Every structure is written in C-alpha cells, then in structure tokens.
Amino acid sequence: MLWTPKVKGSLSFKSEIEKRGCATLVVDTGVLGEAVFEPDISWEQVASAGGSNLSQLIERKEHGEDLAVMTKGVAEIARELYEGKRIDGMISMGGGGASSAERLPTERAITAQTEAFKALNLAL
C-alpha cells in the first residue's frame, strides 16, 4: 500500500485487508504529520530513494520539490519491491495536501502514485 499512515482511518483500512488474509507492506509517501502507525518503509527511506534527505525537504517547505523527490523515491522502492518479488499488487491513495478540499495536491499525489506503478514495467 502506497500512502501516508498519517491519515485517520489508515490503520483500519490496513486491518481490513489483513483480515481478508492478505499481507500488507505500507510505504509512507507523506512528508508532514505524525504517523498513526509505523509503516514498513518510512518517509525517510522514500526521500533517500528519491535522492534527498527528509529533514531538508521539511525545512525547505517546497511542496513541488517534496512531491518530485517522493515520487522518484516511491517509484524506485516500488520497482525494487516488485523485482524482489516482495509485492503482488499495489493499492495507493492520494492525500489532500492538508485538506481534502485542495484539488491540486490530490491530483499531484495521484499522479505520483501512478508514476510509481508505471515504473514497475510489468510484463503482461
């Protein structure tokens, strides 16, 4: 699952998937907020895979740069997980950039997660 475990309801969504017999692996794609539960792959790891440092991203407060770094990082992590046969599928949810009424951050988040999925280069 690609999303931020900082969103209210994230843990219950994860629990519902696990109740149905599926294993989960949560990748934290967010840059702000406090996690409701511990992800399997942290936002620090995602930022690092994207070629940056999380504390620098938070310090700069540049949403566009955050998104570019996290998009690159999550695409790299998704590719590695798939190639290492650690995942069979993906579920991703875009955040609202602090407010679900903010349409543009949501569209950017969905675009980022779509890019991560496309980076898998699945052979069908």
Q: Is residue 19 part of a domain?
A: yes
CA dist list (Å): 103 to 57, 92, 96, 108: 22, 17, 7, 9
Q: How confident is the model at residue 33 (pLDDT cuts 50, 70, 90)?
A: confident
Calculate the average pLDDT of the chain: 77
* Secondary structure (3-state) at 114: helix
Number of domains, the chain:
1
Q: Is residue 24 part of a domain?
A: yes
- 9 or 74: which carries more pLDDT confidence? 74
* Per-residue model confidence as pLDDT tens digits over 53-95: 888 888 887 667 788 888 889 888 988 988 898 888 888 765 5
Range of the domain at 100: 2-118
Sequence length of the chain is 124
